[in-house]
Amino acid sequence: MSGLVLVVGGTKGTGALIAKRLAADGRQVRVMARDPAAARGRLGHEIEIVRGDLTNPETIPQAVSGADAIVFTAGVPSGRPAPAVLVKATDYDGARHTLAAAQAAGMRGRFVYLNSLGVTVPSLSATLLNLLKRDAFTWRRRLEADIRRSGIDYAIIRVGFLTDGPGGRRAIRVTQTPLPLTPWHTIPRADAAEIFATAVDHPKAARATFDIVSGNGPRRGGAAELLDTLVQDAGA
Ligand SMILES: NC(=O)c1ccc[n+]([C@@H]2O[C@H](COP(=O)([O-])OP(=O)(O)OC[C@H]3O[C@@H](n4cnc5c(N)ncnc54)[C@H](OP(=O)(O)O)[C@@H]3O)[C@@H](O)[C@H]2O)c1
The tens digit of pLDDT for each residue in 121-142 reads: 999 999 999 999 999 999 999 9
Looking at the CA of residue 79, tell me the nearest atom of ligand 1. Answer: 1
Say how far apart CA 155 and CA 235 lie, in whole Å.
14
Residue 227: predicted pLDDT:
98
The answer on pLDDT for 1 being more than 80 is no
Looking at the CA of residue 136, tell me the nearest atom of ligand 1. Answer: 47
CA 208 to chain centre: 13
* Pairing of β 48-51 and β 154-159: unpaired
Residue 79: predicted pLDDT:
81
The answer on pLDDT for 51 being more than 80 is yes
Residue 235: predicted pLDDT:
78
Cα–ligand 1 centroid distance for 55 (angstroms): 14
Higher-confidence residue: 78 or 65? 65
Residue 202: predicted pLDDT:
98
Backbone angles phi and psi of 168, in degrees to 5: 80, 5
CB 93 near ligand 1, within 6 Å:
no
Query: If you average pLDDT over residues 181-193, what whole number do you get?
Result: 98
Residue 185: predicted pLDDT:
98
Query: If you average pLDDT over residues 190-201, what whole number do you get?
Result: 98
Mean residue pLDDT of the chain comes to 96
Please name the residue whose Cα sits nearest to atom 3 of ligand 1. 161
* Number of CB atoms found within 10 A of residue 83's CB: 12
The answer on pLDDT for 188 being more than 90 is yes
The 10s digit of each residue's pLDDT in 81-101 is: 999 999 999 999 999 999 999
CB 190 near ligand 1, within 6 Å:
no
Say how far apart CA 162 and CA 51 lie, in whole Å.
26
Residue 236: predicted pLDDT:
72
Looking at the CA of residue 35, tell me the nearest atom of ligand 1. Answer: 40
Query: If you average pLDDT over residues 156-177, what whole number do you get?
Result: 97
Residue 58: predicted pLDDT:
98
Q: Nearest Cα to 136, choosing from 93, 172, 175, 101?
A: 93
The alpha carbon torsion through 39, 61, 86, 134 (nearest 10 deg) reads: -100
Query: Predicted confidence band at 167 (pLDDT cuts at 50, 70, 90)?
Result: very high
Contact assessment for residue 202 and residue 224, using Cβ atoms and an 8 Å cutoff = yes
| Predicted TM-score (pTM) above 0.95 | yes
Say how far apart CA 154 and CA 122 lie, in whole Å.
25
Query: Predicted confidence band at 78 (pLDDT cuts at 50, 70, 90)?
Result: confident
Please name the residue whose Cα sits nearest to atom 14 of ligand 1. 13
Query: Predicted confidence band at 168 (pLDDT cuts at 50, 70, 90)?
Result: very high
CB 54 near ligand 1, within 6 Å:
yes
Please name the residue whose Cα sits nearest to atom 5 of ligand 1. 161
Pocket test for ligand 1, best of 8, 14, 115 (most atoms within 8 A of CB): 14
The 10s digit of each residue's pLDDT in 140-156 is: 999 999 999 999 999 99
